[in-house]
Structure 1
Amino acid sequence: MSWRTVVISSKSKLSYKNNYLIVRNDDVKMIHLSEINTLVIDTTLVSITSILICELLNRKIKIIFCDEKHNPNGEVMPYYGSHNTSKKVAMQAGWDKNIKALVWKKIIKQKIKNQSNILKKFNKENIIKLNQYIEQVQENDSTNREGHSAKVYFNSLFGMEFNRELDSDINSALDYGYTILLSAINREIVNNGYITQIGINHKNEFNQFNLGCDLMEIFRPVVDKVVYENRNFNFDREFKYKLINVLNEKICIDKSEYYLSNGISLYLKSVFKAIEDKKIESIIDIEVI
C-alpha cells in the first residue's frame, strides 16, 4: 500500500477533528490520518495544535519540521513504539558483537550491489569494479570497501569532478533525500520497540540516530536514482517534493515489487530477527530497480 506524505508549504493552521487532519489557509482541507505516513511542515508560518501532535504520535505518524530555508531541521516521534520496548532496548544494548559484524558485512554488500544496479540502470561504467568490491567485503567492512565503492560510484554517476564535499545542488538534493529516508527508518525502528541511539556499526556519541544511519545504507541508492533523474533541474521546491515522495518509489524483494515505505518495514524486521536469532540468512535482499 502507498502512503501519503503530506507537505504544508504555506501559512496554515493545523488541527484535529474526528480522525482528520484539518488544514486551514485560504480554504479548508481534510485528510484522514489513516492515509498519512509523514507530515512535513515546510514553512515556519504554521501553527499546530497539541491535540493534533498527540494524535499523530499515537498513530506513529512522523512529523518533520523544516527551517526558514525549507531544509529539514528536526522531527517528532513517539517515546514508545512497542508494548515491550524496555525488554527490546535491554536486548539491543547486549547485541552480540560477532553477529553485528556479520550483519554490517551483509549491509555493505547489499549497498554496493544496489549502487551497481544504479550504474547499470543508467548505462554507466565501473559496474564490474563494484561487483569485485562486493566479493572483497569482510566482517565489519574492515578494508573499507564501502568507502572505495562510494568514490567510484559517485564519480561514475555524476562525473569525475563530483565529490560529496562540494557545495552544489546535487549534494543538497542528496542530503535532503537522505534526511527523508533516515526519518522513515527512525520511525520504523521506534515502531519495532528499539531506540535509534545504539547502532550496529555507527557509534558516534553525538549522533542520536546511529542505528538509523546503519539501516538506511542499502536504501541510499533509491535517493541517488531520484536525484540523478532530476539532476538538470534547480534544487527548488518542486525538486524537494520529488524527494519527499521517495517513499513511494518501488524496490524489489524476492522478485516482487514493493513501495519503499513497505520495504523498509519488512527489511528492518528481518534485520532485528537475524540479530536476535543469530541467523544472518534471515535478512532479506533489497534490490533497487
Structure 2
Amino acid sequence: MIKRTLVFSNPTYLSHSNKQLLVTYPDKEKDSKTVPIEDIGVLLMENQQITISHGCISALLENNVAIISCDSSHMPTGLILPLDGGLTQSERFRYQIEASAPLKKQLWQQTIQQKIYNQGRVLEELGYDVTNMFRWSRSVKSGDPDNYEGRAAAYYWQTIFSEFTSFNRGRGGESPNNLLNYGYAILRAAVARALVSSGLLPTLGIFHRNKYNAYCLADDIMEPYRPYVDRIVYSLVQDFGVDALRELTTDLKVRLLQLPQLDVKFDDMTSPLLVGVSRTTASLARCYEGVSRKINYPEL
C-alpha cells in the first residue's frame, strides 16, 4: 500500500480516535475529517497555529509516521521519528556501531557511484553530454579518495539549469535553491523514517560525521535519491521560469510533495520512492550484519 503524505497549511487541530487521525478546524469553518493512521507515511505541519495532541503524536509514531514541523517561513525545520525500529533493534545497533572502516568506505563508494550515475541520467534526459559523468561514476574507489563526487557536482550544477539561469548551488542561494532545499527536506524525512523502521540509528553516518547533525546516516543514504528532487525542480523551472519561483507557493509545494509517491526503479522491480528507500535501508542493515556487501539503490 502506498503511504500518504499529509500537509497542513492552515490553523488546524489534530487528534486521534479509533486509529484515525481526526482533523478539525477553528470556528468550524470546515467539516472535520478523518484519515486512517495506518495509511500515513509523512505528516507535515506548516502553519504556526496547528495544535496536535500528545496522544496523536504517540499514535502516529507507533505507525512509523515521520512528523515534520516547519518554521514561520514554511520551511521544514524539525523531524519526529519513533525510537523503536523493531524487535532486533539493539542487535542492529551493535552491528552498525561496530562496522569496520573498510566496510564504510565500500558503502560510501557504492553510494557515490550511484549518485553520480543518477545525476548523469538526469542530464542525459535533458540532452547534455554525460560521458564524463558515467566515467566518473565507474572510477569511484573505496571511500572516494579522488573526490569524484565533488567533480561531478561541479559539472552537474553548472549544467542542469544553464539554459535558464547562471546557477550556484547553496542553501541560501537564489531560486531555485529554495525549491531544492524544500524537496531535500522531504526526502531526508523519508529516508530517516526508513532507517528507523530498519532498526538503524540515523545519527551514525557512513561518511557524514557532524557532531551537531542528528541525521548523518540519512544524509548519506539520501545522496543517490537527490536527483529525483532535482528532476522535479527542473520541471518547475521549465514550466514557470526562475523568477516565478522566488516564493515557495502552495502549488509549488504540492508538486514537490509528490516525491514520496514517485516511481523508482530497481533491478527487479519498480516501487514508490517511500517504499524504495525502505528497501535501501533494509539492504544497508544486511550489510552491517555481514549478510550482504551491496546497498540496493534505485537507478534513475
Residues 254, 285 of structure 1: 8 Å contact kept: no
* Residue among 143, 152, 155 paired with 1:152: 155
Please state if 1:87 is matched with 2:87: no
2:280 corresponds to 1:267:
yes
- Name the residue aligned to 1:138: 141
In the alignment, does 2:19 pair up with 1:19?
Answer: yes
Query: Which amino acid counterpart does residue 175 of structure 2 have in structure 1?
Result: D
Question: Against the structure 1 CA distance between its residues 255 and 85, is the aligned structure 2 distance closer, same or farther, given a 3 Å change threshold?
Answer: closer
TM-score if structure 2 supplies the norm length?
Answer: 0.91
Candidates 152, 158, 167, aligned match of 1:162: 167
Partner of 1:101: 105
Where structure 2 has 5 or more consecutive residues not aligned to the other structure, the ranges are none
**What is the aligned partner in structure 2 of residue 56 from structure 1?**
60
SS at match of 1:197: coil
1:285, CA displacement in angstroms?
4.2
2:250 alignment partner, one of 232, 237, 242: 237
Q: Cα RMSD (Å) of the superposition?
A: 1.5
Structure 2 residue 55 is the aligned partner of structure 1 residue 43: no
Equivalent residue runs for 1:205-224 within 5 Å: 205-224=211-230
**Letter of the aligned partner of 2:232 in structure 1?**
V
By how many angstroms is 1:283 displaced? 2.6
Counterpart check, 1:65 vs 2:69: yes
Q: Normalising to structure 1: TM-score of the pair?
A: 0.95
Runs of 5+ in structure 1 lacking a partner?
none
Kindly provide the CA deviation profile for residues 131-161 of structure 1, in whole angstroms up to 9, marking residues without a partner as x. Answer: 1111221110011100110111111111272
Find the aligned partners of 1:58 and 1:226 in 2 and give their Cα distance: 31
Paired amino acid for 1:118: V
CA distance in 1, matches of 2:95, 2:34: 41
CA distance in 1, matches of 2:230, 2:158: 12
Count of matched residue pairs: 286
Q: 1:29 aligns with which of 3, 27, 33?
A: 33
- 1:83 maps to a residue whose letter is L
Moved >6 Å (runs of 4+)? none
Whether the 8 Å contact between 1:99 and 1:278 is mirrored in structure 2 is no
Are the aligned partners of 2:202 and 2:218 in contact in 1 as well (CA < 8 Å)? Answer: yes
In structure 1, the partner of 2:183 is: 177
Verify the 8 A CA contact 1:251 1:258 in the aligned structure 2: yes
1:170 & 1:28 partners in 2: Cα distance?
Answer: 36
Query: Which of 73, 78, 84 is equivalent to 2:82?
Result: 78
Cα offsets for 1:199-241 (capped at 9, x unmatched): 1111111111111111111100000001000012423221112
Residues 151-179 of structure 1, C-alpha deviation per residue, up to 9 Å, x if partnerless? 11111111272111362221111111111
Identity, % of aligned positions = 30
Matches within 5 A, 1:193-204: 193-204=199-210
Aligned-residue offset at 1:245: 2.0
